[in-house]
């Protein structure tokens, strides 16, 4: 069910929520958090769909604040709202606020009256993120702050900005997308022979901040120089592969076909592994499982990333 509230106020939205609960039996009981999604007008539906899917694991209230990238000075201040419950909201209740003109200038006041009482707040910017998320109006009221470097105009430069602006509680989907890669590499190194890694190389697409964070993680964990290559080209996307050198030979984990990785180890048969790019829903669900700061991510972004010596950039047509 979708209830439209054109040209409305926070007080009217709250009353409408109460009325919907009384008439339809929808309740906020069991909601474990409030997720605030800050999106550009017209680009919020993909994020709402991901939140609806994630709500089946994390029942929550979703507040979507949509504003224009550059508010028109002559646009009359106005807030249009939608309340979505039931089949249109997964296991959550979704409040969509579309703010125009000066009404968009104070996002904190727009959402404060709609937050679930005594529940943690998570802020997510699926598109362009603030320069310092923790100091932004929405970031100040959030326990966790989620950004996505791959959605920025220059993903690699976004990592540099994230490094300088990091505060405990920040995280980025470029890191979340590495979970399967990190788990697979850790599993390989947890098997004999237990030899020290002497060299590491990582390759991926120029627009893949996850490739750079993977190199930074390996640099931090293994304390050996990591060489990483970033490739531009029409077919270059995501992480391409990792090569770990030790005395008995080279361990290679390469993804030349989308969704399938090939693991090659000295003295063992070649293995094909499922290694898909994680969906927006998977990444969001992962990050909502923890509301405390991700300390490892903090170390990788503030210590591992600065230790990297810089990528080699090439042009190619990797799959």
pLDDT tops 90 at residue 29? no
Q: What is the mean pLDDT of residues 41-66?
A: 93
Which tokens is 82 given? 């939608």
Is the pTM higher than 0.95? The answer reads no
Q: What is the mean pLDDT of residues 145-171?
A: 97
Q: Worst-scoring range by mean pLDDT, 120-129, 240-249, 293-302, 310-319? A: 310-319
CA–CA dist 139, 3 (Å, integer)? 28
CA–CA distances in Å: residue 316 to residues 174, 234, 259 = 22, 8, 20
pLDDT tops 50 at residue 143? yes
pLDDT tops 50 at residue 77? yes
Q: What is the overall mean pLDDT for the chain?
A: 91
Determine the pLDDT at residue 318.
40
Task: Check residues 319 and 243 and name the one with the higher pLDDT.
Answer: 243
pLDDT tops 80 at residue 69? no
pLDDT tops 80 at residue 24? no
Q: Give helix 179-189 / helix 209-222 axis angle, nearest 10°.
A: 30
pLDDT digits (tens, 9 = 90+) for 271-299: 999 999 999 999 999 999 989 999 999 99
Q: What is the mean pLDDT of residues 142-165?
A: 97
End-to-end CA distance of the chain: 42
Determine the pLDDT at residue 316.
65
pLDDT digits (tens, 9 = 90+) for 221-246: 999 989 999 998 766 789 999 999 99
Determine the pLDDT at residue 75.
75
- For 128, list phi and psi in degrees, rounded to 5: -65, 135
Contact 241, 215 (CB under 8 A): no
Determine the pLDDT at residue 97.
97
CA–CA dist 162, 164 (Å, integer)? 5
pLDDT digits (tens, 9 = 90+) for 293-305: 999 999 999 999 9
Determine the pLDDT at residue 313.
81
Q: Which of 92, 99, 17, 100 is nearest to 60 (CA)?
A: 92
Res. 74 pLDDT band, cuts 50 70 90: low
Question: Which residues face 246 on adjacent strands?
Answer: 249
Domain boundaries, the chain: 2-172, 179-288+295-315
Determine the pLDDT at residue 86.
80
pLDDT tops 70 at residue 269? yes
pLDDT digits (tens, 9 = 90+) for 165-187: 999 999 999 999 999 999 999 99
């Amino acid at each position: 069910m979708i209830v439209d509230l054109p040209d409305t106020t926070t007080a009217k939205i709250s009353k409408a929520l109460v009325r919907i609960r009384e008439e339809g039996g929808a309740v906020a009981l069991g909601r474990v958090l409030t997720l605030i999604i800050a999106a550009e007008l017209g680009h919020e539906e993909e994020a709402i769909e991901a939140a609806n899917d994630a709500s089946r694991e994390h029942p929550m209230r979703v507040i979507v604040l949509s504003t224009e990238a550059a508010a028109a000075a002559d646009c009359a201040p106005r807030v249009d709202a939608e309340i979505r419950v039931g089949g249109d909201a997964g296991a959550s209740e979704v409040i969509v606020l579309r703010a125009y003109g000066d009404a968009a200038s104070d996002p904190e006041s727009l959402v404060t009256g709609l937050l679930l009482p005594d529940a943690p707040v998570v802020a997510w910017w699926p598109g362009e993120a603030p320069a310092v998320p923790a100091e932004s109006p929405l970031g100040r009221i959030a326990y966790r702050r989620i950004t996505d470097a791959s959605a920025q105009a220059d993903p690699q430069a976004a990592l540099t900005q994230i490094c300088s602006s990091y505060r405990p509680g920040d995280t980025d989907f470029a890191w979340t997308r590495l979970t399967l890669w990190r788990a697979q590499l850790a599993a390989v190194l947890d098997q004999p022979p237990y030899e020290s890694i002497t060299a590491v190389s990582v390759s991926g697409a120029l627009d893949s901040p996850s490739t750079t964070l993977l190199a930074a993680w390996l640099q931090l964990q293994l304390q050996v120089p990591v060489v990483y290559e970033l490739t531009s080209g029409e077919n270059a996307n995501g992480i391409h592969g990792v090569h770990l050198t030790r005395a008995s030979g080279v361990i290679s984990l390469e993804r030349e076909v989308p969704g399938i990785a090939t693991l090659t180890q000295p003295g063992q048969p070649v293995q094909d592994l499922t290694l898909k790019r994680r969906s927006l829903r998977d990444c969001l669900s992962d990050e909502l499982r923890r509301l405390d700061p991700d300390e490892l991510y903090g170390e990788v972004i503030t210590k591992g990333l600065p230790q990297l010596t810089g990528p080699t950039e090439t042009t190619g047509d990797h799959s």
